[in-house]
Amino acid sequence: MKKRHSSFSRFLLLLLCLMLSFGGCSSGAEAQQKLAEIEARLADSEKRAAEAEARSADSEKKIALLEQKLADFESNSETASLGYIVVTDFIENDGKTDLSDAIQKLIDDNPNRTIYFPDGVYMLSKPICTSANPKLSVDLRLSNYAILRASPSWKHDEAMVRLGGKNPFNDIATPGSNYSLTGGIIDGNKVAKGVSIESGRETRVADLSIKNTTIGLHIAKGANNNSSDADIVNVNIRGVGGHDSIGVLIEGFDNTLTNMRIAYVTIGVKLCSSANSLRNIHPLYSMGSSDYSTSIGFYDVSGGCNWYDFCYSDQFACGFYLGSNVEAYLTNCFCYWYSNEGGKQVAIRTAGKFNSMVSCIRVGGLSKYCKTAILEAGKPGGQGVIQYVYANEKLITGGDHKDYLVGKIVD
């Protein structure tokens, strides 16, 4: 095919030569120069076509090699008995080659297996998906220094790792329903979202570091009437900064989040759904002053109930934002400001009436140079309660909390 293409191109060049010879060129030298330029462009075009053909052949060769390695793995009783797949037995993690298709093939060809990623950098140009169908699910396990990194040419709106990203399924009876992502580093390279939990139940994400992502973790609506039933534990997130940077976005119901550190985001955790439990979650505002006024540690617009235990908003202009009709439960929570750069700050702000229960909250790091409020209620007349408050009352401005305070403020 390539030879026929080259011969045809040469024929066109010869035809062009004849046309130029009768085309009234001012001189033979001028015609020869134009012919030389055309021939050079044609040679460059043929070179690029040959390179593209070589890349395609190389890709086909790699897929064929991967298929052969998988076949060899299955035929080897010793390796097959391991019960898990070591990714580097099949592909090279050099940090440069796009491994999206190769990793996806390993996932698709090995249902109900653990896919293990040793240390190294695995470059992805598009998302990898696991199945929500328990019979097709896999368990992804990354070594502590294994990095899944988004390619600089990333063009996708979906997250890099989509857990339950295909084959939606609502089933907790079949073995394989509780698949997970454990360990390692997800690096969005400042262009991609990190991890999403999409269409299954009982998904677990643990011991993971998510870095340089526009949205670190997204728990979408789950398969059980929008309940995700996901468990997140020991996950650290660093965003990319900017006004739309979010650490965790929760849209599904009935999730637990425990032991998380979140930094370099404008919103630490955004909750659009209720019946979620958050414990020991620590978002930190670590950007400049340009986005400070809109920064929020916990942004709850669920319209229902969520539970917060020892959740710590660090330096955000607003610690806890509670939207209309939200009835939150805050226990042992903490709002702290280590800098007075913002000028104005509030521990709890509501869009409507204050109807939440707050017990044992500390409001600290106050400065006489800042206006600080414990509560700013959007509307009066709520039925909420605030008790056991620790703060320097002399540095508190704004008195909405007094209408709901049981007992006194302790310094």
Pairwise pLDDT comparison (72 vs 362), residue with the higher score: 362
Is the pLDDT at 60 greater than 60? The verdict is yes
Q: Summarize the confidence of residues 210-230 as an average pLDDT.
A: 96
Q: What percent of the chain has pLDDT over 90?
A: 70
Per-residue pLDDT tens over the stretch 370-392: 889 999 999 999 999 999 999 99
Per-residue pLDDT tens over the stretch 161-177: 999 999 999 998 998 88
pLDDT band at 311; cut points 50, 70, 90:
very high
Pairwise pLDDT comparison (59 vs 344), residue with the higher score: 344
The rounded distance, in Å, linking the Cα atoms of 356 and 96 is: 51
The rounded distance, in Å, linking the Cα atoms of 11 and 13 is: 5
The rounded distance, in Å, linking the Cα atoms of 400 and 380 is: 9
Is the pLDDT at 3 greater than 50? The verdict is no
Determine the longest span between alpha carbons in the chain, in angstroms.
103
Per-residue pLDDT tens over the stretch 344-369: 899 999 999 999 999 999 999 888 88
Q: Are 123 and 153 in contact (CB under 8 A)?
A: no
Close Cβ partners of 41 (under 8 Å, ≥ 6 residues apart): none
Structure tokens at 18: 């004849």
Phi, psi for 29 (deg, rounded to 5): -65, -40
Task: Annotate 38-68 with DSSP letters as a single string.
Answer: HHHHHHHHHHHHHHHHHHHHHHHHHHHHHHH
Q: In this structure, are strands 215-219 and 185-197 parallel, antiparallel, or unpaired? A: parallel
Q: In this structure, are strands 357-364 and 231-239 parallel, antiparallel, or unpaired? A: unpaired
What is the residue-averaged pLDDT of the chain? 89
**Regarding the domain with residue range 87-410, which homologous superfamily does it belong to in the CATH classification?**
Single-stranded right-handed beta-helix, Pectin lyase-like (2.160.20.10)
Q: Are 207 and 234 in contact (CB under 8 A)?
A: yes
Q: Could you tell me the sign of the dihedral formed by the alpha carbons of 320, 362, 262, 228, in that order?
A: negative
Is the pLDDT at 230 greater than 70? The verdict is yes
Structure tokens at 25: 């060129």
Least confident interval from 60-69, 108-117, 276-285: 60-69
Locate tokens 């985001």: which residue?
A: 265
Is the pLDDT at 81 greater than 70? The verdict is no
Is the pLDDT at 65 greater than 70? The verdict is no
Cα-based distances in Å from 15 to 9, 21, 161: 10, 10, 54
Per-residue pLDDT tens over the stretch 237-289: 999 999 999 999 999 999 999 999 999 999 999 999 999 999 999 999 999 88
Is the pLDDT at 2 greater than 50? The verdict is no
Q: Which amino acid is at 75?
A: S
pLDDT band at 227; cut points 50, 70, 90:
very high
DSSP 8-state secondary structure symbol assigned to residue 70: H
Q: What percent of the chain has pLDDT over 70?
A: 85
Is the pLDDT at 14 greater than 70? The verdict is no
DSSP 8-state secondary structure symbol assigned to residue 366: -
The rounded distance, in Å, linking the Cα atoms of 196 and 238 is: 16
Is the pLDDT at 98 greater than 90? The verdict is yes
Per-residue model confidence (pLDDT) at position 69: 59
Least confident interval from 53-67, 90-104, 349-363: 53-67
